[in-house]
Amino acid sequence: MPSARRAACLAIGLTIALAMSEWLSAANAPLCCRIFSIDATPILGDDPAVCGQIPDAETTEEAAAEKRRAAQCARDAQAQGRAIVYTYRELIPPDVDLIVQAVFGTRGERLLLKAGRFAREDVRSLEVCATLNVQPDGTLRTAGCTTEHTLIERLYAPR
């Protein structure tokens, strides 16, 4: 790789890493979903399964390994009918670096949260979904997702 291109790739990677450092610590906080300015604890009950964390991954292999471990945890918790916070980092340099959180509440609530970079665009979304399932490969199957829902408004946390 020519040195100018390598330097550009390193600069992009550093920029993404710095921008996401606040998100990484907030996503792993006890009150999940703070990076989205919401507090999901009211829908999670007393003992939610917390599956996954945001790895400080340097490679896609590291991020994928954590995603596989988290997916198994989430699928086990889904089978038990537990409330879940499923978190992973989708890392496909240089175009994709997303934090993804799926929240499954005690009464069937389903939230999908994404923040980061996708195709050189900043992404920040919070949706309530009619269908949200963790697949064996760790991906999420969704349907009927919307950004307009009273649940979102109820969960907004004061800053």
Q: For residues 115 and 100, what is the distance between their CA atoms, to the nearest angstrom?
A: 7
pLDDT of residue 30: 43
Whether the predicted pLDDT of 11 surpasses 80:
no
Domains identified in the chain, total number? 1
pLDDT of residue 21: 44
**Residues 155, 42: contact at Cβ < 8 Å?**
yes
Mean pLDDT along residues 117-139: 92
Q: Is the pLDDT of residue 103 over 90?
A: yes
**Predicted TM-score of the model (pTM):** 0.76
What does pLDDT average to over the chain? Answer: 80
Range of the domain at 93: 3-155
Which pLDDT value is given to residue 34? Answer: 77
